[in-house]
Structure 1
Amino acid sequence: MKQTNKTLSIYQKLEKYPFGKKIFSIIVSRVAPYFATINPKISELVPNQCTCLIKKKKKVFNHIKTVHVIAICNGLEMAMGVMAEASIPKHLRWIPKGMTVAYTAKAGSDIRCVANVKQEDWQPGDMLVNITAYDENNIVVVKGHIKLWISEKPTV
């Protein structure tokens, strides 16, 4: 299957090289600089799903030395944004409208942030993207959704 999506194509080219996923993650963080605050790494990108890793380091700690939930939300938003850019049909566009999360466990390790949707969800109107953050033991530490507004691109 030939992929024509620019974001997905760049990821697929870079992932073949040593440090390719890290380079891709740096590129994303240059486009949206706030993501760089968590030093993220996109570890998997396929249509309709993206995984972003956050290392447990002092710069993302809270007062009890676990990964701060806002850092996790940043990783979840990065996973969602990259997934959306790599997956949205060419005639549509997206913008986030909100995020709803539940903190379900302490985040005492590296964190894996996952965003996913079904292909048939890409329709004009509100769309909920499932977001889940896991610790290294596969325990869910944050779960929720990001609401996107999907609309048709204007015809020129």
Structure 2
Amino acid sequence: MPDTFALYQKLTSLPLGKQAFSFLFAQKAPYFWSVRPQIREVRPHHAELTIAKRRAVQNHIGTVHAIAVCNGLEAAMGLLAEATTPKDRRWIPKGMEVAYTAKSTTDLLCTADTDPADWEEPGDVPVRVRAIREDGTVVVEGVITIYVSEKKK
């Protein structure tokens, strides 16, 4: 697959491009397809997508399951990492710490953000993630740490 961010930029300039990109991205990491992410925006240091509250991702009380929310957050983090990581480096997830702060009773907006200073040197990069209900309530927030290293020559 070509550079993810370059593909996003190319496809989103076309009609239905975001839908096409969302499908292709979820196929690159098939587990993401379980939440059917709909990509809204990708740029260096920021990514956002939505996941729909539908039966396949609900838990026994009818809210979006916590692991489905984390799946959406990890997808947003991956998009941010693809758009931000310098070409001479690579990244891999290292850990995730999240807090469940409210019930996930609607479709969710999943966001990921970093600061430029986080990327100056190889090493741990904290990616701030949040899942937000349609009424603006944050339902999950936390940090996904990725490890950024130099590519092998």
TM-score normalised by L of structure 1: 0.92
Q: Which moved more, 1:69-78 or 1:85-94?
A: 85-94
Aligned to 2:76: 79
**Could you tell me how far apart the structure 2 residues matched to 1:74 and 1:62 are?**
14
**Could you tell me how far apart the structure 1 residues matched to 2:69 and 2:143 are?**
13
Amino acid at match of 1:145: V
SS in 2 for 1:105: coil
Cα deviation 1:59-93 (Å, max 9, x = unaligned) = 11011111111101000000001110111111111
Cα deviation 1:17-54 (Å, max 9, x = unaligned) = 33211111111111100000011111111111100100
* Alignment counterpart, residue 130 of structure 2, candidates 105, 129, 132: 132
Aligned length: 151
* Alignment counterpart, residue 26 of structure 1, candidates 4, 23, 38: 23
Moved over 6 A (4+): none
Give the gaps of 5 or more residues in structure 2.
none
Amino acid at match of 1:14: L
Cα deviation 1:119-140 (Å, max 9, x = unaligned) = 2211211111000110001110
1:94 aligns with 2:91: yes
1:40 aligns with 2:37: yes
Give the gaps of 5 or more residues in structure 1.
none
Please, what is the CA RMSD of the aligned residues? 1.2
